[in-house]
Amino acid sequence: MKALKVANIPGDGIGREVVPAAVEVLKTISDIHGGLKFEFTDFPWSCEYYLEHGKMMADDGMEKLKDFDSIFLGAVGNLQLVPDHVSLWGLLIKIRREFEQQINIRPAKVLKGIRSPLINPKDFDLIVVRENSEGEYSSVGGNIYSGDDEIAIQNAVFSRKATEKAMRYAFELAKKRKKHVTSATKSNGITFSMPFWDNVFKDVAKDYPDIQNDSQHIDALSAFFVTQPDRFDVIVASNLFGDILTDLGAAIMGSIGIAPAANINVNGKYPSMFEPVHGSAPDIIGKGIANPIGQIWTAKMMLDHFGEQELGSTLLNVIESVTSDGFLTPDIGGKNTTKEVTDEIIKRLKKVDKKGLEAIEVNHL
Ligand code: GGG
């Protein structure tokens, strides 16, 4: 029996609605599988916790999290209570940084039954590997003077080690996919970091002669996401470019509510963290209509990470069978609630017997 210890941090807003939904799904999967058990522990760290305690997580929070196999997070942010830079750097980004989760992976693909806003999305299926520890999000800089003379300085830090790590991760991933890596650059405008990024990319690419590669400036690459997303397989991007590109990836899928993500610790020293791309969505909190698919697809990425790819594929197939049969929350044009979509996924999962991990039939629209 494989027992996996998972730290749940639902966080803020709809995180508290979609994490319990995905946990129910994971419990169902564990029942089906028999040999896989999850031990969930909930942590209340959030903006409300900040109001009570003056901090986003307990002082020994990182020490506690260290012993888990993974962290399953919902969303962090409640601007009414705490400025975003305080809440994010006190919880989400703190965990990413201190647990050396240097790689952020975010897939985007056409899901059956979910209409892309693109007229001709074809059958795109891409994955963005985002450098997750430095780049434009390096906390290096400062403010001087005030009034008309005020100056803000923000430095971007690009190290060969972290850049190379993200690129190698992308090439390794491409080996198992369509064998193509695209580098997101802007070396025609950013004069130090991006030519460096290009050079590292060329060096790393030499070690992968069987993988095709190209470099695209981020502006053109963004346009291609809209006009020809099917031309991409794996894209490697800096922290900021990757962040922006993956919101666009979510948008062309049909909703940010369905987009999953994983923050991967590659050195094995700390747990990885799984969280959907979306935030706390204050406009729909408490209405029961948050899309659970982003969090449930994120659970699929966690299963993959634990070496349970077959179960992960089954879960994604079940998700697609549910969306293709029209069980949709309002963000993707439906009328169903979080609970109805989740219950339907659970109902169909229960029909998959222990041996029946083969693909569930999906109705193509
Ligand atoms: N799961 C991603 C996440 O929580 N990101 C932080 C974020 O976007 N916060 C702002 C918000 O929730 O409105």
Question: Is ligand 1 within 6 A of the CB of residue 275?
Answer: yes
Q: How confident is the model at residue 363 (pLDDT cuts 50, 70, 90)?
A: very low
Q: What ligand 1 atom has the least distance to the C-alpha of 11? A: 4
Whether the pLDDT of residue 145 is over 70: the answer is: yes
Report phi then psi at 245, rounded to 5.
-60, -35
pLDDT, position 362: 45
Whole-number mean pLDDT of the chain?
Answer: 95
Q: Which pLDDT does position 357 carry in this prediction?
A: 44
Q: What is the pLDDT of residue 364?
A: 36
Question: SS3 for 302?
Answer: helix
Phi, psi of 352 (to 5 degrees): -85, 110
Establish whether residue 276 lines the binding site of ligand 1, counting it when its CB lies within 6 angstroms of any ligand atom.
yes
Query: Does 280 contact ligand 1 (Cβ within 6 A)?
Result: yes
Q: Mutation test of ligand 1: which of 47, 92, 296 has the most ligand atoms closer than 8 Å to its C-beta? A: 92
The more confident residue out of 352 and 73 is 73
Q: Measured from the CB, is residue 84 less than 6 Å from ligand 1?
A: yes
Q: Ligand 1 mean position to 244 CA, how many Å?
A: 13
Mutate to test the pocket of ligand 1, among 278, 284, 293, 295 (most ligand atoms within 8 A of CB): 278
Percentage of the chain beyond pLDDT 70 is 96
Q: How confident is the model at residue 59 (pLDDT cuts 50, 70, 90)?
A: very high
Interval 277-295 mean pLDDT: 97
Same CATH fold assignment for domains 1-101+274-365 and 116-253: yes
Question: Which residue owns the Cα nearest ligand 1 atom 8?
Answer: 279
> Which whole number is the average pLDDT over 103-117?
96
The CA-based dihedral angle spanning residues 317, 320, 324, 330, taken in that order and rounded to the nearest 10 degrees: 160
Lowest mean pLDDT among 72-86, 326-340, 346-360: 346-360
Measured distance CA(235)–CA(39) in Å, rounded: 34
Q: How confident is the model at residue 1 (pLDDT cuts 50, 70, 90)?
A: confident
Ligand 1: nearest atom to the Cα of 276: 1
What's the pLDDT score for residue 355? 53
- Domain positions in the chain are 1-101+274-365, 116-253
CATH of domain 1-101+274-365: 3.40.718.10
pLDDT tens, 178-230? Answer: 999 999 999 999 999 999 999 999 999 999 999 999 999 999 999 999 999 99
**Superfamily of domain 116-253 in the CATH hierarchy:** Isopropylmalate Dehydrogenase (3.40.718.10)
